[in-house]
Structure 1
Amino acid sequence: MNEKALSVIGQYGLEVRKSVRTRGGIAVLTDDGYKLLYECTRSDSYYERENMITAGIKRTGFEYIDTYVMTAEGTLFSQDAQGRKYILKDWFDAQECDIRNETHVAMAAGTLAVLHGHMMNMDKCEHELKYNNATDMRMKFDKHTKEMRMVGNYLKGKKNKNEFEMLMRRSLMTFHEEALIAAQELEEMDYGSRIEKARTSYEMCHGSYNYHNVLFTDRGCAVTGFEHCCVDCQINDLYQFMRKLLEKNGWDARAGHSVIEAYSEVRPVSDDDMKLLRINFLYPEKFWKVINFYNNSNKSWIPRKSIEKLEGVLAQNDARRAFIETLH
C-alpha cells in the first residue's frame, strides 16, 4: 500500500504518531490507540457485512476484536484523492499466538469458547443480510471425494508419471477409504439434525479461527479476521484451530486433548459435537488439499514444494490416525 494512503487518516479525526506496514495494510498508532488501514479490494457489501458482524459481537460485550472505525462524518469508507476506498479497523499492539506455546494455545482455546458464547447472544434481526450458512459437510465431503476419484482415474490412465504422481497414486486408495468412512459416520450421527439445529438457532462460527487471527495483548486475547464468519456448528471452529496445531506438533495427542479441555472448561462439548470433531479429523482434508492444488495446476511441472507437502501428509498419517482413535 502506498504511504500516501495515510492521507485518509485525517478523515477519521485521528493524529498519526507512527505507522508500519503489515499483511495487506498499514498498522497505525494514533492518539486513539492502534488502528489498521486497508485499501478496499472487494465490493462494498463485503466490508458492510463484516462491519455488522464485528459490531454485533462487540455489543454483546466481547471487546477485543477488529471492529471498524467510522469516519468523522459517520461513513464506513474513506477515500483518497484518486478515488480509492479504504477502511480502518481497531487494532492491537500484540503478539500472534505461538502454536507451540502451551499457555498460548490453552488461552486461545478458552477465548474461542468465550467468543462462541457471545456470538450465540448476537442480535438475530435481519439475519439474511448479515450471515451466510456454511456449506453442508455432507456436500463438502462428497465434492472432495469425487475429486479424489477423478484424479485417481486420471493417474490410472496416464503413462508417464512423475515422482509426485506415482507417490499420490500409491497412497490415494488409503485416503479415499478414510473419506468414505468419514462420510458414513457423518450420516450415522444424524448430521442433518445437527446442522438444522445450528441454522435455526443461528449458531455462529468465526470461520477462520487459527493462530494468525489470535493476538495476545497485555489485557488478554484479541480475535481478528471475521470475514469468513458464518452459521455453522461451532465445534468446526475448534477443529480448524486444532488441525493447524496438531499438524505443527506431530499429532501429539496430549496437545490435542489439552485444547479440548481448555475449551470445555468454558463451554462443555456435547457427545454429538465430540463425534463431529472426530469425523472432521477422520476426513483426510490435508491430503485433499494437495490433490486439489494438483488438479487445478499445470500438471506438466510439479513444484518440489508439492512433493514435500505430500510426503509430509504421508509421514504424519499414522500419528494422525492414532490421535483420532483417542477421540470418543
Structure 2
Amino acid sequence: MNEKSLKVLEQYEIEVISTRRGRGSYICETNLGKKLLAGCGSSEKKMVFVNRVLEAMRQKGYLYADIAMENREGKLLTTDREEEACILKDWYEGRECDTKSMADVEQTARRLAQLHRMMYLPPEPESDDGNYVGEDLQEEFLRHNRELRKVYAFIRKRKQKNGFEILFLNCFRMFYEQAQEALEQLRGSGYAALREEMCRRGALCHGNFNQHNVWFPGRNQIFVGNFDKCRYDVQETDLYQFMRKIMEKQEWQQNNGYRILDSYDRERTMGKQQRDYLYIRLLYPEKFWKLANQYYNRKKAWVPEKNREKLEALISQQNRRNAFLKTIE
C-alpha cells in the first residue's frame, strides 16, 4: 500500500486523527479508536463471513476481535486509486510473538486452544458459509506428491545442475518416502470422519496461524488478528502451522515440542483422532515441498542462494525432526 491508499479513508464515517505506516498497511488513530487500513485479497462475501465469525467470538468473550468496518456504501471492501481492495478494521498494537521465547510460545498455544473453544459457527442456511471449507488433506497430499515427482524429473533431465538442484536430487528419496508414508497413514486414519464431524459442528480454524499474526498488547494479553483465511476445518490445523514454524526455528528441540503440546492440551484436550491428525501433518515434509514449489515456479536458470541454505538447514534438522516425531507417534 502507498500513501494514495489513504484517500479511501474518506469513504468511511470516521474522523482520522493521525496515520502511520505498519507492515504493508497503515495504522490509523481515529475518533472510533485504533484502526488498521490494509489491502485485502478476499472477496466481500468472505469478509462478511469473517466478520460474523469475529462477532460470535466477541460475544463469547474474545475482546480483541479485529472486526472490519463498513464504508459509506455499507460495504466492507473499498477500492483505492490503484484498484486495490482495502479493508478498515479494529486494531490492537503490541509486540509480536517472539519465537525464541518459550514463555511467548506457550502463552500463544494456550490462547489458540481458548480461541478454538470459541470458534464454532454452524453455516447459515442459504448463505455462502458452506463454501469456506478447507481442502481435503488427502487431495492436498496427493497433489503435492505429484508436484514433487514433477520437479524431481525436471531436475534430473537438466544437463548442468546448480548447487540447489544437486542437493535436491541427493535428498529427494528421503523426503519423498516420508511424504508417501504420511499419505498412507492419513488414508488409514480416522481423518475423513474427523473432518466431516468438525465441519458438521461448525468448527473453524484461523487458517494462517503463525507468530506474525500474534501480538502481546500487555501483560497476559494476547491479540490474534488477520482471520481472512478463516475456514471450516480440523482445528488442529492451526496448531500444526504454528508448531511446525516454531520447531523449525528451534531446530526440533524435543522438550520445546512437548511444552507446546502440553500448553494447548491444558486448555483444550485433544482426542486420539486429533493427535493422529497432528502427527501426520508434522510427518509430511511440507517445508521440502515448499522449496521445490518455489524453485519450479521461478526462473530455473537462477536459484537464490538462500533457497540452497534453507534446504541444507532442512537436511541438517532431519534427524532431530525424526527423533521428535517418533516420540509422539
Q: What is the TM-score of this pair, normalised by structure 2?
A: 0.91
State the identity %: 35
Residue 318 in 1 paired to residue 319 in 2? yes
Residue type of the partner of 1:300?
A: A
Residue 296 in 1 paired to residue 304 in 2? no
Q: For residue 160 of structure 1, what is the aligned residue in structure 2?
A: 160
Residue type of the partner of 2:267?
A: V
CA gap of 1:79–1:128, structure 2 versus 1, over 3 A, is closer
Aligned-residue offset at 1:29: 1.7
- Alignment length (residue pairs): 327
Distance in 1 between the 2:211 and 2:77 partners? 28
CA gap of 1:126–1:58, structure 2 versus 1, over 3 A, is farther
Q: For residue 220 of structure 1, what is the aligned residue in structure 2?
A: 221
Contact 2:175/2:285 (<8 A) preserved: yes
Contact 1:55/1:67 (<8 A) preserved: yes
Q: For residue 283 of structure 2, what is the aligned residue in structure 1?
A: 282
Q: For residue 268 of structure 1, what is the aligned residue in structure 2?
A: 269
Give the CA RMSD over aligned residues. Answer: 2.3
Q: For residue 307 of structure 1, what is the aligned residue in structure 2?
A: 308
Contact 2:34/2:90 (<8 A) preserved: yes
SS in 1 for 2:226: coil
In structure 2, the gaps of 5 or more residues are none
Contact 1:56/1:123 (<8 A) preserved: no
Distance in 1 between the 2:6 and 2:280 partners? 47
Q: What is the TM-score of this pair, normalised by structure 1?
A: 0.91
Distance in 2 between the 1:258 and 1:189 partners? 25
Q: For residue 241 of structure 2, what is the aligned residue in structure 1?
A: 240
Deviations 1:258-290 (A, max 9, x none): 111111111001111111111111111111111
Aligned-residue offset at 1:297: 1.7
Aligned-residue offset at 1:30: 2.0
Contact 1:203/1:232 (<8 A) preserved: yes
Residue type of the partner of 2:159?
A: K
SS in 1 for 2:161: coil
In structure 1, the gaps of 5 or more residues are none
Contact 2:179/2:285 (<8 A) preserved: yes
Deviations 1:36-87 (A, max 9, x none): 0135566433433333332333233322121112346754355778987642
SS in 2 for 1:263: helix
SS in 1 for 2:328: coil
Residue type of the partner of 1:278?
A: Y
Q: For residue 132 of structure 1, what is the aligned residue in structure 2?
A: 132
Q: For residue 33 of structure 2, what is the aligned residue in structure 1?
A: 33
CA gap of 1:133–1:127, structure 2 versus 1, over 3 A, is farther
Aligned-residue offset at 1:254: 1.2
